[in-house]
């Protein structure tokens, strides 16, 4: 087995232990340090902002009043979900807009997003 395979397995185990709060994190980190691997900062996601198309629905509801910029949409979503970080709300809004544009439900001209059809 290659060293990088072992290192990647230990890093994945460390990431999972941090996210789930499991036991043995200090042992995994000790093994990584002994192997000379730099410990990266672990990213812990905020969790799901919405499920089952709720994010797309929130974006469509925000666009019913007229066209909005991406920043206005993100602010609208952040107001609805204060438990989610602004950065996470931005990327989730961006993903929802991309999916809605692929379906032909929204379009944008310049910086303004608008409904393609009355939904």
- Mean pLDDT in consecutive groups of 10 residues from the start of the chain, 119 residues: 92 88 91 92 66 87 92 91 84 91 92 82
- Are the CB atoms for 7 and 32 separated by under 8 Å? yes
| Contact partners, residue 52, CB within 8 Å, separation at least 6 | none
For the chain, how far is it from start to end, CA to CA, in angstroms? 56
Q: What is the pLDDT of residue 82?
A: 84
**Within 10 Å of residue 77's Cβ, how many Cβ atoms?**
23
> Per DSSP, what are the bridge partners of residue 109?
112
Per-residue pLDDT, 27: 95
Whole-structure pTM value: 0.59
Which residue, among 20, 21, 87, has the nearest Cα to 49 in the 3D structure?
87
């Amino acid at each position: 087995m290659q060293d990088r395979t072992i290192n990647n397995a230990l890093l994945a185990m460390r990431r999972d232990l941090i996210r789930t709060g499991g036991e043995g994190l200090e042992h995994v980190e000790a093994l990584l340090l002994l192997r000379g691997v730099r410990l990266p900062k672990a990213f812990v996601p905020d969790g799901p902002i919405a499920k089952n198309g709720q994010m797309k629905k929130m974006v469509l509801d925000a666009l019913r009043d007229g066209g909005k910029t991406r920043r206005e949409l993100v602010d609208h979503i952040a107001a609805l979900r204060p438990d989610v970080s602004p950065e996470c709300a931005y990327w989730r809004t961006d993903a929802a807009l991309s999916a809605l544009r692929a379906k032909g439900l929204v379009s944008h001209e310049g910086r303004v997003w608008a409904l393609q059809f009355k939904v």
